[in-house]
Structure 1
Amino acid sequence: MAVRELRYFGDPVLKTVCDPVLKFDKGTESLVNDLLDTVDKPGRAGLAAPQIGVGLRAFSYNVHGQIGYVLNPEIVELSEETHEIDEGCLSVPELWFPTTRAKHAVVRGVDLRNEPVTVQGKDVMAQCLQHETDHLDGLLYLDRLAAERKKQALRQARGKDWFWNR
């Protein structure tokens, strides 16, 4: 168990579609523990495996005291009702942009015993579930921004010293 170093925008692992978790062994348990330890810091709502350099479908969450993880998550339901909500990302630090997200989301996946789990939430939890699942599909929240806002965000990101490909 450890707090892992984060990967930042520009790192190819963040733009790669993740492989499913196929082994439910000590290595997977270690990954889950690292995800839980790394998300358990103030200001962190969620963390996907690629954000710590691992290309597997796994994420952890820490929203309003609700802490957990999901392996092989898939979004199975999104409300038709959406809202524009400020969004940031541990892999794109210091930048926040209004992003359109469904107000309610449901994710299904499995736990470390390969048993089914369902996580659902509204508002911030819904945003977290959508955001972390996007990471597993090789998407950053910046990819969901309107064209002009996305250009502005990319320009700002490239000017930061954490930008990976300097």
Structure 2
Amino acid sequence: MQYRGHEGTEGIGGGERAVPMAWFYAEYIADELLRTGDLMPPTSFEFRAGRDALALTVFLSDTDGELSGIRVVSQLEHWLSLTAYDQPWQDWVGERMAELAAEEAAAAAPSPDLALAAEAWRWLEETELLAPDLDAVPGGGAVLGEDDGPKVWTPAWRLGLPLGHLAIHLF
């Protein structure tokens, strides 16, 4: 969905600028789910990773282009299945982004929604966060706190995806 409105400044061409409403709505849904779950401080990189991963899931799962008309509750199971641990989420995102880019090229009309989704995806792939190594086998002693135990640099999407999944469960 796009909104077309006036530039609002006299003397500047009177053109229209598309507003990425579908992306903004997906981001809003993701933000609300994560805030409701109260998993991370909203100012943390982990929160951003979760929000972006969840927003991509919401945005890219809208195959009918009717994101503003969906009911969040009716989509929760679908989003849970897409973000589940055993699902190839990263591959799915890549495929959906390629499909939407091809549609955009065929229509010869740039999509501000797709541009923001691509920016979020790029950040999730290229940014690494230092996080507990969830695959490590505890060696010998009990892990007492969050700061104890091995840590590894992890692509942001690998940390954000389980946070998003958990946020959906907690909703």
Give your verdict on TM over 0.5: no
Query: Which structure shows the higher strand fraction?
Result: 1
Query: Which structure shows the higher helix fraction?
Result: 2
Decide which structure has the larger Cα Rg and report it.
2
TM-score (norm 2): 0.23
TM-score (norm 1): 0.24
